[in-house]
């Protein structure tokens, strides 16, 4: 397994020199300053690669090459957007990038309600609180239909939270929910979010699946020709949110995706935290079922509450059996070697430690939520130990 580290380029307070000391070999990054739908210029990709290689790293994985919202909505003439996506893939392939992580979540990316929830040991973590999310949907942006999405106890507690919340509390909640959006674009206030949601009216699960299938049909042939593997990231959280459908949340969804287009370039980013936040998902079983489709992995853990809330746990704690999960990935790597998978596709599955706790001196640094230095270093060290131990059994 290739140890990798997510880096946000010029937006990241953590330097490549600091990352070098973690022992990671690969950088996972993107051109976060380019608006969605525009071509990633070859010159910009080449400059980013030079920056990474000069620092002593490999760049094999892009996270993410975003999909324009009009493609997700199936809106207007999409031919130029599909052409731009294919050209960006070609420009990346020319510089040796082999894997593109992406998601098909409408409007929002990962969603949390707390960016610094307290942990018992004094660290902080990301948290999704069902009560605060219900309060946001129902009382802050006036989505009355959300009453049907939460159990009565959560609705009652949400009303109480909203009655007691200060303006600062509400602004902090909005900022936390917006924090999951990647890149430098599309942050909303409450009114702006309501307007953005209105553009998705009428897009149900079936429509979104149809639009996703069209996207796959438009880009996968080019990906095959280029030697690029696309790796869809599961929904985070793995449930409908703000009235928006989510279609990459469970085994059934993944079965549909790979049946919709059986191209070998149609693959999965195995995110143990995103899948693990769904109480009905057996993450280890899902990994085993789709092992041949795993092109990239995010290894993290979550601890779930009965009301639908969850928070980031330490990498070897939480509800997912991380040792068993890594054993599945190592077995798939061994299968690929035995099958003599072409070198460009690679035998080793790149992974990165995801969403570490903010701890120690990181607590005094202004870091990207969920992406601290020390918390991810701890996670990487723990995962490295598991991998090393399993590799020598």
Mind telling me the catalytic residues? Answer: 233, 271, 298, 354-355, 371
Residue 6 near residue 361, CB atoms below 8 Å? no
Which contacts qualify for 10-17: CB closer than 8 Å, 24 or more apart? 11/184, 11/368, 12/368, 12/371, 13/365, 13/366, 13/367, 13/368, 14/367, 14/371, 14/373, 16/51, 16/52, 16/55, 16/57, 17/55
Percent helix, percent strand, percent coil in the chain, to nearest 5: 45, 15, 40
Task: Give the sign of the dihedral formed by CA 221, CA 182, CA 24, CA 300.
Answer: negative
Peptide bond connecting 64 to the previous residue in cis, omega within 30 degrees of 0: yes
Task: Give the sign of the dihedral formed by CA 16, CA 17, CA 18, CA 23.
Answer: positive
Cα separation, 106 vs 69, whole angstroms = 7
- Strand, coil or helix: 41: coil
Two structure tokens written together for 173: 């909640």
Write down the residue that tokens 């049907």 correspond to. 148
Task: Give the sign of the dihedral formed by CA 345, CA 291, CA 103, CA 221.
Answer: positive
Return the ∠ at Cα 218 (arms to 183 and 67), rounded to 5°: 10
Cα separation, 46 vs 168, whole angstroms = 43
Residue 284 near residue 325, CB atoms below 8 Å? yes
Tell how strand 301-304 and strand 310-313 pair up: antiparallel
Write down the residue that tokens 């061994």 correspond to. 334
Cα separation, 234 vs 250, whole angstroms = 8
């Amino acid at each position: 397994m290739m140890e990798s580290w997510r880096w946000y380029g010029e937006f990241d307070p953590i330097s490549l020199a600091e990352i070098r000391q973690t022992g990671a070999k690969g950088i996972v990054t993107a051109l976060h300053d380019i608006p969605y739908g525009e071509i990633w210029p070859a010159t910009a990709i080449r400059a980013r690669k030079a920056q990474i290689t000069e620092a002593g790293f490999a760049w094999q994985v892009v996270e993410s090459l975003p999909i324009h919202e009009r493609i997700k909505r199936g809106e207007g003439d999409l031919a130029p957007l599909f052409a731009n996506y294919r050209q960006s893939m070609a420009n990346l392939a020319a510089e040796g990038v082999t894997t593109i992580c992406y998601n098909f979540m409408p409007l929002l990316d990962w969603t949390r309600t707390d960016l610094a929830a307290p942990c018992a040991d004094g660290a902080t973590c990301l948290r999704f609180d069902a009560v605060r999310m219900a309060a946001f949907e129902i009382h802050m942006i006036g989505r009355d239909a959300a009453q049907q999405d939460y159990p009565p106890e959560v609705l009652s507690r949400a009303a109480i939270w909203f009655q007691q919340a200060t303006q600062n509390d509400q602004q902090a909640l909005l900022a936390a929910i917006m924090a999951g959006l990647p890149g430098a674009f599309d942050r909303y206030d409450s009114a702006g979010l309501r307007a953005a949601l209105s553009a998705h009216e009428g897009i149900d699960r079936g429509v979104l699946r149809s639009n996703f299938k069209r996207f796959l049909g438009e880009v996968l042939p080019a990906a095959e020709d280029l030697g690029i593997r696309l790796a869809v990231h599961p929904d985070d959280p793995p449930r409908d949110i703000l009235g928006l459908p989510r279609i990459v949340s469970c085994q059934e969804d993944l079965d549909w995706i790979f049946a919709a287009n059986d191209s070998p370039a149609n693959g999965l980013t195995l995110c143990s935290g995103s899948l693990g936040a769904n109480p009905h998902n057996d993450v280890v079983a899902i990994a085993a079922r789709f092992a041949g489709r795993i092109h990239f992995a995010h290894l993290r853990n979550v601890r779930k509450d009965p009301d639908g809330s969850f928070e980031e746990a330490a990498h070897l704690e939480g509800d997912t059996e991380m040792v068993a999960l890594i054993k599945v990935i190592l077995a798939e790597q061994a299968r690929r070697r035995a099958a003599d998978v072409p070198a460009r596709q690679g035998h080793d599955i790149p992974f990165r430690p995801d969403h570490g706790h903010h701890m120690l001196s990181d607590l005094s640094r202004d870091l990207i939520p969920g992406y601290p230095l020390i918390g991810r270093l701890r996670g990487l060290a723990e995962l490295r130990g598991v991998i090393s131990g399993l590799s020598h059994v």
